[in-house]
Amino acid sequence: EPEVTQTPSHQVTQMGQEVILRCVPISNHLYFYWYRQILGQKVEFLVSFYNNEISEKSEIFDDQFSVERPDGSNFTLKIRSTKLEDSAMYFCASRPGQGNSEAFFGQGTRLTVV
């Protein structure tokens, strides 16, 4: 069964460093998402991406964040200068299209900023 894969599963980084979280969505999907979950809290929407551009972003997704689909298969989330409060589980998701199309989530990348 096709699945969304995320790498790495766990990343530890120093405050102020740049990190790139990687995702390989399901191949024929058109919509891509990043969500995050701070430990013990709800899953929050960060950004959605369609047709090679951001279609929607939340207040959390400030100038420190960017997304890219560099090669038609990977979908990356970059955090330019990490802060302690960026420590969270980051989930990538993809869905085939509009209407009834369930979003498929990856297993997540746990980011720890020290």
Partner 1 sequence: GEDVEQSLFLSVREGDSSVINCTYTDSSSTYLYWYKQEPGAGLQLLTYIFSNMDMKQDQRLTVLLNKKDKHLSLRIADTQTGDSAIYFCAEDPGVLSGTYKYIFGTGTRLKVLA
Using CB under 8 A as the binding rule, whether residue 31 contacts partner 1 is answered as: yes
Q: Are 114 and 15 in contact (CB under 8 A)?
A: yes
Candidates 27, 51, 52, 100; binder of partner 1 (CB under 8 A) is 100
- Segment lying near partner 1 (by CB under 8 A), choices 20-28, 43-51, 61-69, 73-81: 43-51
Separation between Cα atoms, residue 96 and residue 102, nearest integer Å: 8
Candidates 1, 28, 42, 62; binder of partner 1 (CB under 8 A) is 42
Using CB under 8 A as the binding rule, whether residue 94 contacts partner 1 is answered as: no
Q: What is the DSSP string of 28-92?
A: T--EEEEEEE-TTS-EEEEEEEETTEEEEE-TT--TTEEEE--SSS-EEEEESS--GGG-EEEEE
- Contacts with partner 1, residue ranges (CB under 8 A): 31, 33, 35, 41-45, 48, 50, 55-56, 91, 93, 95, 98-100, 102-108, 110
